[in-house]
Structure formats: C-alpha cells, structure tokens
C-alpha cells in the first residue's frame, strides 16, 4: 500500500517511512495541513497516518478535509495524547482506526493487515453486487458432453496451481465464467478477481488501464491511477481476448509474467505484483504469431496450460438443461410460471446452430419468456431466426448447423436459389453447375 505520514516531527516521519518500506509499502511524508493537502492533490494514497498535533493545528480539523478529498482512503489517527474521548471523536469524524504513540512495528503491521483484509472484503462485496446487478443466472458448470467434461476437469485440476492458462473458445462459450470458477477454487479465492478486455480501449488507454499511470503521463491523464495489475495483486487477472493486445504492450506483459515487475505509465519506479494470469481468446494465436502480430515468447509463456471450451452446437446433451435453467430464471424475473418448451419449439432449438453460443441461448430464452402468453414456450415465442427453421422439420427448409445430411442441406439451398431466380439457367449459373445437372437434381428432389 501507499501511505501518507502527516506529522510535524521530521524524525517521526523518517522513522515511520523506514518502518513501512521495510514492510513492503511505500511512504511519503507531510509536515502540516498544507503539505498534506498538496500531496493528496498530486498523488494517490491508500492510507494516511495523521498526527493529532500539527504545529498548533488539530489533526481532527484536517480529518474531514482529507476524507472529502479522498473519500475511499483509510485515515488512522496517531497521538501521544491517547484518550478514549479523542478516539471516539476521531472515529465519529470518519477515521478508520486509532494508534497511540509511540507505536511498535507489530502494532503497525497488525493495523495495516486489518485494513488490507477490510479492503479485500469490500472488493468481494462490490464484485458480488456487480454480478447481482448484471441480472445473470447462476453459472452452470455441469455437463453430459465428454469434450466439455474434459475441459472442466482440466480447468479445475489447474485451478490450484500458479500456472498461467489460456482458454480458447468462440465468443459466448463461457470463458469468463470458467476463469472466475477457477479463481474461486484456487488458493487466491479471497483475493480480487479482475478482468480487462483487451479490444475495448486504445493502446494508450489500455496500457494505463492495465499498469496504471501517473498524473500528466499523457494528455487527459488528470490524476494517478493504479491499474488493474495493482488491483489484482495477490489474486487473478483475466485478460479477455488477449489476441487483440497491441504489440507495444506485449513486452511489458511478458515482463510481468516472468519477473512480476512493471512500471506505471509516466513513471520510472519499478513495482512488483503477484498476480495469476488467465488469458482468454476466441481464436488460436499461432497464425497471429506467424503474421508477426503476437510475440512468440509471450505466446509460449501464456500457453502453459490450454483449455478448449466447446461451442454450444457441440453440447447437444446439455442444451435442454441449460435452456430450462434460463427459463426458470427469467420466468421468475417476469413473475411467470412456465412449464418448459413445446415439442416443436424444443426441436427447433435442438436443430439450430447457435452461433452466439450460451450468450445467444440466454437472449433467446429471455426474449421468449417476455413474449409468451402461454404456460410454456411456443414456436411463435422464439425469434424469427429460429422459428423460420420450423419448416425444416417437415423437409421444407433447413439451416446450416442442423443435424442433417449434406444432401438435405444442398437440396434446400437449391430450392431457395431456384425461388430467387427467374430461369433455371440463371439458377444453374448462381449454383455453379451445368443446367442439365440442375434439371436432373431437381427431378430427383421431386420437382
């Protein structure tokens, strides 16, 4: 942590700084109210050690100003004039704790440990509240599919290790859910789980978001930030869509993985962070390495253990259970008691290819629950892209990804091209076949 020592005695400031730095923290001193407020305006601090006597000023008068400037900072009041009254007054004004002077190294160590524990709990509560606000059903990590079972088994075996992992899978297959589940099964479960999306920001902003920055590091950097690496210290950092990480940032990430060291943007001071990195991507990175868009050494450093999340179209045995879980969740949200899916709706969903995977399934079921006026989901309640495939149940139409033969797929494509063109010759030209071949195929199809 970074601490501001506010004390009018230089010897105490220096002694406290040496003590804190020996514990692995960073300390800055301020001799009075004016110096303290200037430091707070320029830099970020986690904790302030505030003396109650400051060259004739009262530290209790400064306390509200500090908290107004930095409402999330923990202020510990220190004084040689220890009394119950001043302690109570300090806590009433917002102090996090009270430390009598002279204090011992062990007292300081226990105090900072308590603050760190409190912050960790606050982070977990904030994370849980964020997940509740997302209105998402509980993650389902059970499966009847062997390929998915192998992926989950490997992930949970690797959860206890400190190894870096790479999770491959199409968009919407649950990579973030799996990474969080691994974190919760790891020795780091009581520490933060932090996610950063690599494609979401420009190179400059992404580097700042990842490693932090100092005020004035670039245009628009109006204050200090610590970055996701510092926030995740001791916990897990998920780098989502790692393949989009700019080349300029890749050496810095490699250094963090190998040496656990980094610098904030605009700062030369080397910092350390113990983070377990999980990378996720929707495409294999070997081609990006060959194209020079992804460093080979970083690829091998990330790719210690590889987990492949199967797409939903390869999880047919899980589809019905997952759909019914979403149905119960959204039914409860809408105050509807639903008894499942009609046979036709169920069959159409089983034959659909689900290019958006679990995310698309969730959206489809939510859509159907909102629209249905029945006690079960009917075909008409499903989005058009699914209900249009109902004709395929009687052989009149099919979709790519359905569990049908290649001949059935070709026949449906031929029917649709013929319907869209004015002559058989034009249809043959679109299909890239000889007109005579098309006539024979059409006759075989019964037309």
Q: How far is CA 104 from CA 11, 23, 100, 120, 308, in A?
A: 15, 13, 10, 25, 52
Q: What's the half-sphere exposure (Cβ side, CA atoms, 13 Å) at 136? A: 13
At which residue do the structure tokens 């204090």 appear? 103
Interval 377-388 mean pLDDT: 83
Q: Is 91 or 223 the better-scoring residue by pLDDT?
A: 91
* DSSP summary character for residue 302: H
User: pLDDT, tens digit, for every residue of 244-279?
Assistant: 999 999 999 999 999 999 998 888 888 889 999 999
Interval 77-93 mean pLDDT: 75
Topology adopted by domain 146-308: Rossmann fold (3.40.50)
pLDDT for residue 403 is more than 80: no
User: pLDDT, tens digit, for every residue of 329-352?
Assistant: 999 888 888 999 998 899 889 888
What is the dihedral sign for C-alpha 216, 220, 225, 229?
negative
Write down the pLDDT at residue 126.
Answer: 67
Ranked by mean pLDDT, which of 114-128, 135-149, 285-299, 415-429 comes out on top?
285-299
pLDDT for residue 283 is more than 90: no
CA distance 60 to 189: 38
Query: Angle CA(335)–CA(355)–CA(375) in degrees, nearest 5?
Result: 25
Topology adopted by domain 312-383: Helicase, Ruva Protein; domain 3 (1.10.8)
Interval 94-109 mean pLDDT: 86
Write down the pLDDT at residue 134.
Answer: 54
Q: How far is CA 373 from CA 338, 362, 380, in A?
A: 10, 19, 10
pLDDT for residue 280 is more than 70: yes
pLDDT for residue 394 is more than 50: no
pLDDT for residue 289 is more than 50: yes
pLDDT for residue 396 is more than 50: no
pLDDT-derived band at 395 (thresholds 50, 70, 90) equals very low
For the record, the structure tokens of 207 come out as 């580097």
Interval 165-172 mean pLDDT: 92
Range(s) within the chain of domains with CATH label 1.10.8.60 = 312-383
Range(s) within the chain of domains with CATH label 3.40.50.2300 = 2-114
pLDDT-derived band at 132 (thresholds 50, 70, 90) equals low
Query: Angle CA(181)–CA(162)–CA(255) in degrees, nearest 5?
Result: 115
Write down the pLDDT at residue 398.
Answer: 56
Write down the pLDDT at residue 155.
Answer: 95
At which residue do the structure tokens 């019914």 appear? 324
Write down the pLDDT at residue 397.
Answer: 47
Residue 363's Cβ-count burial label (10 Å; 0-12, 13-18, 19+) is middle
DSSP line for 376-432: SB-GGGS-HHHHGGGGGGGTS---TTSS--HHHHHHHHHHHHHHHSSSHHHHHHHHT
pLDDT for residue 85 is more than 80: no
User: pLDDT, tens digit, for every residue of 363-381?
Assistant: 999 999 999 998 999 988 9
pLDDT for residue 392 is more than 60: no
Q: Which of 378, 389, 305 is nearest to 350 (CA)?
A: 389
Q: What is the CATH number of domain 2-114?
A: 3.40.50.2300
For the record, the structure tokens of 223 come out as 């204050």
Measure the N-to-C terminal CA separation of the chain; round to a whole number of Å. 77
Query: Average pLDDT, whole number, for the chain?
Result: 85
User: pLDDT, tens digit, for every residue of 318-331?
Assistant: 999 999 999 999 99
> SS3 of 8, please?
coil
CA distance 412 to 131: 44
Write down the pLDDT at residue 247.
Answer: 93
At which residue do the structure tokens 């400059």 appear? 204
Q: Is 252 or 122 the better-scoring residue by pLDDT?
A: 252
* DSSP summary character for residue 217: S
Q: What is the percent of the chain where pLDDT is above 90? A: 37
DSSP line for 108-173: HHHHHHHHHHHHHHHHHHHHHHHHHHTT-PPP----S-HHHHHHHHHHHHHTTS---EEEE--TTS
Write down the pLDDT at residue 389.
Answer: 54
Does residue 102 have a cis bond before it (omega within 30 degrees)? Answer: yes
Range(s) within the chain of domains with CATH label 3.40.50.300 = 146-308
pLDDT for residue 84 is more than 80: no
């Amino acid at each position: 942590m970074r601490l501001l020592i506010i004390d009018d005695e230089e010897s105490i400031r220096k002694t406290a700084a040496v003590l804190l730095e020996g514990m692995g923290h960073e300390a800055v001193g301020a001799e009075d109210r004016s110096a303290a407020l200037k430091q707070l305006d320029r830099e970020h601090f986690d904790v302030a050690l505030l003396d109650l006597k400051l060259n004739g000023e009262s530290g209790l008068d400064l306390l509200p100003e500090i908290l107004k400037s930095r409402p999330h900072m923990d202020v510990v009041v220190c004084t040689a004039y220890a009394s119950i009254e001043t302690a109570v007054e300090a806590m009433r004004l917002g102090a996090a704790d009270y430390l009598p002077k002279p204090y011992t190294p062990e007292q300081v160590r226990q105090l900072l440990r308590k603050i760190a524990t409190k912050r960790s709990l606050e982070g977990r509560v904030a994370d849980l509240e964020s997940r509740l606000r997302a209105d998402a059903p509980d993650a389902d990590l059970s499966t009847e599919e062997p390929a998915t079972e192998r992926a989950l088994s490997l992930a949970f075996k690797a959860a206890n290790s400190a190894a870096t992992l790479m999770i491959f899978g199409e968009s919407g297959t649950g990579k973030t859910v799996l990474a969080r589940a691994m974190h919760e099964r790891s020795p780091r479960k009581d520490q933060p789980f932090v996610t950063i999306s690599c494609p979401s920001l420009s190179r400059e902003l992404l580097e700042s978001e990842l490693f932090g920055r100092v005020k004035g590091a670039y245009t628009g950097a109006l204050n200090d930030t610590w970055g996701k690496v510092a926030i995740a210290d001791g916990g897990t950092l998920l780098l989502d869509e790692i393949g989009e990480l700019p080349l300029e940032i890749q050496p810095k990430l490699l250094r963090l993985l190998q040496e656990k060291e980094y610098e904030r943007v605009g700062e030369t001071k080397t910092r350390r962070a113990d983070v377990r990195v999980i990378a996720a991507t929707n495409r294999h990175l070997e081609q990006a390495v060959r194209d020079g868009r992804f460093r080979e050494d970083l690829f091998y450093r990330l790719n210690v253990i590889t987990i492949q999340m199967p797409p939903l179209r390869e999880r047919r045995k899980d589809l019905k259970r997952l759909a019914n879980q979403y149905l119960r969740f959204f039914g409860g949200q809408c105050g509807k008691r639903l008894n499942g899916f009609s046979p036709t709706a169920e069959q159409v969903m089983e034959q659909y290819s689900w290019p958006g995977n679990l995310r698309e399934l969730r959206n489809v079921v939510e859509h159907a629950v909102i629209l249905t006026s029945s006690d079960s989901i009917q075909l008409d309640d499903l989005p058009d892209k699914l209900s249009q495939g109902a004709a395929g149940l009687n052989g009149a139409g099919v979709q790519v990804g359905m569990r049908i033969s290649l001949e059935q797929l070709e026949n449906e494509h031929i029917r649709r091209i013929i319907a869209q063109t004015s002559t058989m010759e034009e249809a043959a030209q679109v299909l890239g076949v000889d007109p005579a071949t098309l006539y024979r195929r059409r006759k075989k199809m019964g037309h």
